[in-house]
Structure 1
Amino acid sequence: MPRYDFRCRACGATFEVSRPMAEASAPAACPDGHEDTVKLLSTVAVTGGGTAAPPSGGGGCFGGGCCG
């Protein structure tokens, strides 16, 4: 389930809420009970554990042919 970051405008606390994507834009109350919160933008980095294989075909051009 995705996690969304929020910040409370009343006390400045930052907190996370886990909820379905269908409820992503729903308001969230601060853990201290304040209702004036804002959803923060966050970036997500997705990385793989493997390594990419080099392209086959030799050469540095499309299909391995000569660029010249």
Structure 2
Amino acid sequence: MPRYDFRCRECGSTFEVSRTMNAASDPARCPDGHDDTVKLLSTVAVGGRGAAPASGGGCCGGGCCGG
């Protein structure tokens, strides 16, 4: 089950909630009992064998900015 990060606007604590994707946008109550919370955006690293390799440095992969 996916986990979502939330932050309490009242006390500033951050916490995780496990819930289905259908319920991802539902309000979450802070562990301290506060209701004023906001869901945080999280970054996901995607990689693996299908990821493109990094090209050489410089503009356009190098070579176009020669002097």
TM bucket normalised to smaller: 0.5 to 0.7
Whole-Å Cα distance in 1 between the matches of residues 25 and 44 of structure 2? 18
Show the counterpart of 1:5. Answer: 5
Give the letter for the 1:7 counterpart: R
Q: Specify every segment of 5 or more residues in structure 2 that has no aligned partner in the other structure, as ranges.
A: 52-67
Following superposition, the deviation at residue 45 of structure 1 comes to 1.7
**3-state SS of paired residue (2:22):** helix
State which structure, 1 or 2, has the greater radius of gyration over its C-alpha atoms: 1
Q: Specify every segment of 5 or more residues in structure 1 that has no aligned partner in the other structure, as ranges.
A: 53-68
Percent identity, aligned pairs only, is 80
- 1:34 and 2:34 aligned: yes
Give the letter for the 1:37 counterpart: T
